């Protein structure tokens, strides 16, 4: 962390999107009744010189609920495999390591060069947290993972920026290499994916990168067909937030025919055992 001076991060395109979830998590953590306790996110947001509200608008709970659901599933896995390795694909400035750490897990961040450089500026590596400059689609990162004590692969806010064939290949390779492991990621629905292809603006001053990969909720079970070692592909419920949208509208949408499949979701994959050193 810095000595109190503001840090300017040079990030554009997909790497620049890492500031959006940080903004939302920090805003939530500042609330007296916060759903997510995340003091490190507050410290980071205060350290970085960036027009958060100008680019992303008023903070909301989308990334807060995502962090809560990922934390929950990670804690369950870590309870069973306390010496496991967590591979965080596209981890950006996520602070999940500090929220779920049991003092024994190993954490591998896999991200692009400019993102790793930014992370090292404000979140230096630790003895059990290592940063690897590598695209998630460059499978050389998998050679850096010891699967003997369990592996949990997270992919928050990254798969939607890949082509569908790339996503399928990545998931299949994880299933083949990490026997007994888990993989969790978030999905955007097809209609939203299509909207981003021509430029989706969060505010007048910020347009998101293209998101060519989208999948509707009813399609989640088809992910099992990506590889025979995927034993289960299931939705993890978003959960309930506060206010009208996340406290009422989002939960209700799950019950409305014609709408329930056209919403954002979280997916948890369970991999079967293998003979390559997995648990």
Query: Mean pLDDT score of the chain, rounded to an integer?
Result: 91
Q: Does the pLDDT of residue 12 top 80, yes or no? A: no
pLDDT, tens digit, for every residue of 248-259?
788 888 888 888
Q: Does the pLDDT of residue 148 top 90, yes or no? A: yes
Q: Quick one: average pLDDT of 54-79? A: 94
**pLDDT at position 253:** 82
**HEC-encoded secondary structure of the chain:** CCCCCCECCCCCHHHHCCHHHHHHHHHHHCCCCCCCCCHHHHHHHHHECCCHHHHHCCCCCHHHHHHHHHHHHHHHHHHHCCCCEEEEECCCCCCHHHHHCCCCCEEEEEECHHHHHHHHHHCCCECCEEEEECCCCCHHHHHHCCHHHCEEEEECCCHHHCCHHHHHHHHHHHHHHCCCCEEEEEECCHHHHHHHCCCCEEECCEECCCCCCCCCHHHHHHHHHHCCCEEEEEEECCCCCCHHHHHHHHHHHCCCCCCCCCCCEEEEEEECCCCCCCC
Mean pLDDT lowest among 42-56, 131-145, 226-240, 264-278? 264-278
**pLDDT at position 184:** 98
**pLDDT at position 150:** 97
**pLDDT at position 172:** 97
Two tokens, residue 259: 């709408």
Model confidence band, residue 279 (pLDDT cutoffs 50, 70, 90): low
Q: Does the pLDDT of residue 246 top 90, yes or no? A: no
**pLDDT at position 276:** 53
Distance, in Å, from the CA atom of 89 to the CA atom of 113, rounded to the nearest integer, reads 13
Q: Quick one: average pLDDT of 154-161? A: 96
Q: Quick one: average pLDDT of 5-31? A: 85
**pLDDT at position 15:** 65
pLDDT, tens digit, for every residue of 199-229?
777 787 778 889 999 999 999 999 999 999 9
Strands 201-203 and 182-187, sheet pairing: unpaired
**pLDDT at position 256:** 86
Model confidence band, residue 182 (pLDDT cutoffs 50, 70, 90): very high
Q: Quick one: average pLDDT of 83-111? A: 97
**pLDDT at position 84:** 98
**pLDDT at position 2:** 47
Q: Quick one: average pLDDT of 115-126? A: 92
Model confidence band, residue 4 (pLDDT cutoffs 50, 70, 90): low
pLDDT, tens digit, for every residue of 25-60?
999 999 999 999 999 999 999 999 988 888 888 998
**pLDDT at position 37:** 95
């Amino acid at each position: 962390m810095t000595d109190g001076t503001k840090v300017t991060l040079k990030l554009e395109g997909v790497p620049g999107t890492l500031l959006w979830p940080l903004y939302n998590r920090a805003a939530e953590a500042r609330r007296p009744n916060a759903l997510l306790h995340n003091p490190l996110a507050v410290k980071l947001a205060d350290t970085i010189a960036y027009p958060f509200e100008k680019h992303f608008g008023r903070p909301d709970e989308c990334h807060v609920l995502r962090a809560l659901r990922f934390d929950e599933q990670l804690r369950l896995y870590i309870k069973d495999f306390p010496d496991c390795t967590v591979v965080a694909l596209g981890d950006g400035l996520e602070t999940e390591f500090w929220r779920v750490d049991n003092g024994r897990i190993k954490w591998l961040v896999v991200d692009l060069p400019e993102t790793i450089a930014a992370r090292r500026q404000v979140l230096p590596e630790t003895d059990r947290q290592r940063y690897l400059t590598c695209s998630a689609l460059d499978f050389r990162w998998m050679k850096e993972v010891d699967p003997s004590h369990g592996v949990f692969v997270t992919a928050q806010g990254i798969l939607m920026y890949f082509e569908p064939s790339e996503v399928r290949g990545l998931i299949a390779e994880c299933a083949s290499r990490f026997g007994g492991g888990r993989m969790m990621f978030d999905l955007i629905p097809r209609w939203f994916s299509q909207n981003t292809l021509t430029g989706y603006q969060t505010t007048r001053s910020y347009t998101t990168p293209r998101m060519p990969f989208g999948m509707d909720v009813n399609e989640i079970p088809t992910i099992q067909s990506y590889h025979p070692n995927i034993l289960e592909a299931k939705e993890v419920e978003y959960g309930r937030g506060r206010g009208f949208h996340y406290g009422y509208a989002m939960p209700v949408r799950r019950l409305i025919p014609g709408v329930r499949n056209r919403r954002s979701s979280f997916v948890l994959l369970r991999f079967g055992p293998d003979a390559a050193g997995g648990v």
